[in-house]
Amino acid sequence: EDQVTQSPEALRLQEGESSSLNCSYTVSGLRGLFWYRQDPGKGPEFLFTLYSAGEEKEKERLKATLTKKESFLHITAPKPEDSATYLCAARAQKLVFGQGTRLTINP
């Protein structure tokens, strides 16, 4: 069965303190690895799509990378407005989401 596991469940950082979120996936025939940001009570907001191992994508303070078994979302010098839940999803036959990492950035 396709599975996506994210760690840690929650992460609290000080403003400017860089870190990484992990997404491990087990899917048959990966057709894309997706990262979304979700604010409380809102719909997931698309961030990145990665298709093959070694691929990297960047947007402002975020950088996503992909290996054959996991993906990382690196956050560099985060700001309080980066606080949100970050969701990872892997697509084979359907999109399977992880449980998310709840990120809090303290000023």
Partner 1 sequence: DSGVTQTPKHLITATGQRVTLRCSPRSGDLSVYWYQQSLDQGLQFLIQYYNGEERAKGNILERFSAQQFPDLHSELNLSSLELGDSALYFCASSVAPTSGGGETQYFGPGTRLLVL
Residues that bind partner 1 (CB under 8 A): 31-32, 34, 36, 41-46, 49, 51-52, 87, 89, 91, 93-100
Q: What is the Cα–Cα distance from 36 to 87, expressed in whole angstroms?
A: 5
User: At its nearest, how many Å lie between partner 1 and the CB of residue 97?
Assistant: 4
User: Closer CB to partner 1, residue 11 or residue 76?
Assistant: 11
User: At its nearest, how many Å lie between partner 1 and the CB of residue 74?
Assistant: 21
Q: Cα 70 to chain center, whole Å? A: 10
User: Closer CB to partner 1, residue 52 or residue 104?
Assistant: 52
- Report the phi/psi class of residue 68: left, alpha or beta, with left for phi > 0 and alpha for psi in -120 to 50: alpha
User: At its nearest, how many Å lie between partner 1 and the CB of residue 16?
Assistant: 30
DSSP annotation of 53 = T
